[in-house]
Structure 1
């Protein structure tokens, strides 16, 4: 049985919406004080557990007021950032995984494979918060005109900074404009994928983020608030915990989407999802959660599942527990990643929410 989402608890989907509400003099779900402008810093891949275990390397983040909240499920960047920028859950905005089924087309990556049926104007189904609030997005220049940007960040002015330091400098300038500022930092996540979050390269990236944040706070106008959060945490998966899926378990499966810590299985015509789920439960046992789409919806993770979104999400979901990951064959290139995410463990699901400036 899947863990059940606490619907009364603040989540990542509430963060940007609450910051925008604070600029209107409303508290939002986070009950923030009124501000003239707001900055939302998103450190990709920074879980609450990882920050806690490396707090000595991030004193600014670690000692700030606030706590943690759920990023949402699946714990993957495409879904989480869409929830953050729309204030909606995946069943409503439609970005339901890292790889997801485009009905009638096939499985496509939700960060990169835009175009055609994945039209940025319609595939992400909800208005963004940037479309109703004067907003500035600060991220890497290479993403300025991407399909993901046009789908999930639409409505904001995009400003690109090549390095982390460049982006924090742009954020310092943008904060003085009293707008809603979204500052995105992907470097920590990349270090985690490459070498794991326990590697020195990950700690180096965390120290750089924390130092730049401290510098930004010194220049932050008194009437501007800053929230620091993340899109998901991370689990280091050793090679010994790579589970190769027996080919017989794919009998009756038409498409496999998701990612190694959260497979989404789409059954073929005439196949039964409950039967497929039972076979996977017999195989994976305590190493993972197995649930049908209806069970995921009942647990609250997708929110209200729109009729047109439902076919995008797997008929059966296999989410890893512990430190394992699932691969369809020995040659899967994803086996080269150390740090991974996508599932429902606290290390992936819980992310920090820290308050600074006028929000502290």
Structure 2
């Protein structure tokens, strides 16, 4: 949050609140004529710490930062893009229960989860689901957001950045070269943002310790080092991540089957993700659900009421908006340690197939680097 406010301030946006941490970030970044901001998806401190001491990322690490909760891509990309806490804009999980549908939606693919029907066909827009204005539209610089072509045209991307600022790309080396050329030939101050998803993708698939993941981490570090060398002296490079990663052992992957008694107590499948789930409980069944859930899973999960979540300021210190509260539901389960859970519905997959995950409150998920060069 404070990093987003600092970048906004450098780009000419008036600071809306007194934020000493944002002021500190601005001191560390300076006032470069050309600002380049990279979010490497999943590139948490747990991965930076695996790199050699003389690597680019560790040499230029200025501090460790804590991401917004839930420690997932959607909540944190919107925190960066809106300079607001998750309680303000309602992006609080991969799956979100939408009151407009009384059903769960998968927002980044932009579909109703149970049947993959487009939310556009169901009458929804990005502006309805995520109210607010992208912070970068107020930047007093020539601004471009470079997003992988696979989802550069998505509803989420357009709502997050403003469609007119988005440019698609195919690979990291290509986009680095494009940004370097853009900065070198610019006739006015610029802001360039790059989102790179591969560390997250590989870690989900094979885990944090697999050689494929560590090779991707080393590749990103090397490319960032090349980037810093190619940029002219009047440019500043800032790198961070939206979350880290945590391996989930098979013995702590819990699958609740369609015929389980807990499932019958829910309005719909839980929203959130495998590390932090939100339950919309059938009216009058709160006590029964909480008692049964804690009896079976209390060793591995905390179970908080919506009021508990707000009081603990888990979605930020600002007032949580009503539509976010509706999405939060009755209870929120947060995994202890390295557990994960899925409520399976019908033929919806076989269980928890990801080897590493995020979304919870552990340091491996919450701590990310801030790299300045």
2:52 match: secondary structure? helix
Pairwise CA RMSD: 2.3
CA distance in 1, matches of 2:54, 2:282: 48
CA distance in 2, matches of 1:288, 1:198: 24
Q: Give 1:275 deviation, angstroms.
A: 5.4
Deviation readout 1:222-252 (Å, 9 max, x if unpaired): 2222211111111111222212337223342
TM-score by length of 1: 0.88
**Residue in 2 that maps onto 1:92:** 88
Range 254-263 or range 168-177, more displaced:
168-177
Deviation readout 1:40-72 (Å, 9 max, x if unpaired): 1111011112321x1229810112131211111
CA distance in 2, matches of 1:50, 1:79: 21
CA distance in 2, matches of 1:18, 1:307: 28
Q: Select 2:39's aligned residue among 38, 42, 55.
A: 42
Q: Is 2:139 the counterpart of 1:161?
A: no
Contact 1:165 1:212 in 2 (8 A): yes
TM-score by length of 2: 0.85
**Residue in 2 that maps onto 1:68:** 64
Q: Is 2:9 the counterpart of 1:21?
A: yes
Give the paired residue count: 342
Q: Give 1:117 deviation, angstroms.
A: 4.8
Q: Is 2:348 the counterpart of 1:318?
A: no
Q: Which runs of 5+ in 2 are unaligned?
A: 15-19, 111-118
Q: Which runs of 5+ in 1 are unaligned?
A: 1-12
Q: Select 2:372's aligned residue among 331, 339, 355.
A: 355
Q: Following superposition of structure 1 onto structure 2, how do residues 175-214 of structure 1 map, counting pairs within 5 Å?
A: 175-176=183-184, 177=186, 178-214=189-225
2:78 match: secondary structure? helix
Q: Is 2:276 the counterpart of 1:262?
A: yes
Q: Is 2:307 the counterpart of 1:301?
A: no
Deviation readout 1:91-116 (Å, 9 max, x if unpaired): 11121211001114110012111524
Contact 1:135 1:155 in 2 (8 A): no
Contact 2:51 2:218 in 1 (8 A): no
**Residue in 2 that maps onto 1:131:** 137
Contact 2:265 2:281 in 1 (8 A): yes
Q: Is 2:110 the counterpart of 1:102?
A: no
**Residue in 1 that maps onto 2:113:** none
